[in-house]
Amino acid sequence: MKNSVAFTIDELHGEKILPVNKPPDWTSFDVVNKLRYASRVKKVGHAGTLDPFATGLLLVCFARATKRVPELMNLEKEYMATVKLGVEMDTDDVSGKPVATQEVPEISEEELREVLQKYTGEIEQIPPMYSAIKKQGQRLYKLARRGEIVEREPRRVHIYELELMRFDHDEIDIRVVCSRGTYIRALARDIGHDLGCGGHLKSLVRTRIGEYRLEDAWELPALVQEIKSKRLQR
């Protein structure tokens, strides 16, 4: 991207945070591994996982900057999301399998805005079954893969802003500014339920973490090439 954050190899081996635009179909761990290998820095981590289908801002921390991961994870986050109405998925997002379909009723924009208003502020959210949260010592997604559905305790999260960007009968685009721990796919699921037709998260882009913005992020191939070039020059 145009305003990619500058760095030196010495900074990567010392303490550096680089914003990266995570590509689709990559896990956050894949990105970290790629940059660890390219930079030859032993300690590389990230501040906040993005699901493989999602894209957008991932903060990659090099060397001593990994100590700042907990601080960075507590920063508010901004997302652009598309919710597909009428189809429920086992994962609550586009990566899963359909479990129910319903006809989408005629919904006015005013009715939709009233539903969205319910999710502004501090809310209780039931995490998806396909999540890394532990229940009796086991990850929920492992139970879900075995076909087990267990009761999940609601978690308090904060949605600071929820803005309707587009409404086209069975699809809505929303901008969400939220706290750590918010599941956007759970939000998509719950909005669909409230509208009486179910729904799932079709696409997700993280656009901001605190003061770090997607427009300043590196595209992953360009960053890998830049790191290799700087290593050779060094």
Give the pLDDT band of residue 151 (cuts 50, 70, 90): low
pLDDT of residue 196: 95
pLDDT of residue 154: 84
Query: Domain holding 35: CATH number?
Result: 3.30.2350.10
**How many Å apart are CA 20 and CA 33, to the nearest integer?**
13
User: Do 66 and 81 sit in the same domain of this protein?
Assistant: no
User: Do 53 and 132 sit in the same domain of this protein?
Assistant: no
Q: Please work out, in degrees rounded to the nearest 5, the angle formed at the alpha carbon of residue 142 by the alpha carbons of 140 and 148.
A: 75
186 CB-contact burial (10 Å; exposed 0-12 / middle 13-18 / buried 19+) = buried
Query: pLDDT tens across 107-145, in order?
Result: 999 999 999 999 999 999 988 766 666 666 677 656 657
To the question of pTM greater than 0.85 for the whole model, the response is yes
List the catalytic residues.
51
User: Do 101 and 169 sit in the same domain of this protein?
Assistant: yes
User: Do 114 and 146 sit in the same domain of this protein?
Assistant: yes
Residue 2, domain member (yes or no): no
User: Do 38 and 107 sit in the same domain of this protein?
Assistant: no
Helix (H, G, I), strand (E, B) or coil at 87: strand
User: Do 13 and 100 sit in the same domain of this protein?
Assistant: no
Residue-range definition of the domain harbouring residue 19: 9-74+211-233
Query: pLDDT tens across 6-61, in order?
Result: 999 999 999 999 999 999 999 999 999 999 999 999 999 999 999 999 999 999 99
Radius of gyration of the chain (CA): 19
* Phi, psi for residue 187 in degrees, rounded to 5: -65, -45
Helix (H, G, I), strand (E, B) or coil at 50: coil
User: Do 97 and 42 sit in the same domain of this protein?
Assistant: no
Give how many domains the chain has, as a whole number. Answer: 2
